[in-house]
Amino acid sequence: MSPEEVKISQSMIKSMRYDEDGEPEVCPTLLKLRFVDKIRDEPTASMQLGNYFETKVLGANRDGTRTEQLPLTHSTKKKTAENIRIDEMVFEFENTIVPRYHLDLGKAHITLETESVHSKFMLEAHLDLVSPILDPTIDPDNLVPVAIIDTKLTADLGSTYGDFCWGEPEKMDHLQAYFYDLTWELTMGSRVPFYYIVCEHGTGRSWIVIRKKVMQENRDRTIDLITKTSNTLDDWSGMSRFPIKPNYHDCKNCPIKNACEGYRIGHSVKVV
């Protein structure tokens, strides 16, 4: 596998699932399927909701496809209550969030690709939106001219547990923000602020705008992860084929599990 065949993204780094000793827990063959061969997993129900919301507010999904409709109710063949709540949040996004923060939706789904001295492989970042934004914490009178904005849809904006605990965002892993900050600087030669716009489709139907500060220690850790991922990919590329590393986490959703000799072992016991 040559450096031209694969690019390192924040999603790839997260998929590596480095353990306490810095070793990747991911099955190398599954990682190759997803990030080199571009074989996509079947979207989960929550992913479908997010894709639908993204299509409605930004015009398309990240990969350029569009999710125009969600499954209807079995009995009445009408929109579900959840679907209706998302439609209401789309209206709120378009008629409240966009004008209040002076967002420009003209630059949605921007892809950055750049080289880095920390990696043999190119870096790639898929940005939801690049736009001016009104942020009184930076300047109460003038727009921030350029910002990276990532839209999120959540069932519970007040959640304080799990990977997406938006009720306590300081506890979350913000690798996405750090990676985008670094990739933007390498590509554009400057740094811009990073924001989440998080919309809830639960009964609350509220939303929040969060600016994630990126400190030097965050950038240093991100660079370490990029270097580690590059070295790991380079090691695997030198083998006759990517190794198979069966484990419960990967095997249960692997698209080739029925043809893989490691599936029976990996799917049988979850190790914690």
The CATH code of the domain that includes 168 is: 3.90.320.10
Q: What is the pLDDT of residue 74?
A: 81
Residue ranges of the chain whose pLDDT lies below 50? none
- Which two three-digit tokens encode residue 153? 């849809």
Record the pTM: 0.91
How many domains is the chain partitioned into structurally?
1
Residue 241 in any domain: the answer is yes
CA distance to 12, 35, 37, 121, 136, per residue, from 1 (Å): 16, 12, 11, 11, 48
Residue 11 in any domain: the answer is yes
What's the residue count for the chain?
272
CA distance to 27, 102, 134, per residue, from 31 (Å): 6, 39, 39
Q: What is the pLDDT of residue 3?
A: 58
Which range marks the domain in which residue 250 is found? 7-266
Q: What is the pLDDT of residue 268?
A: 67
Residue 15 in any domain: the answer is yes
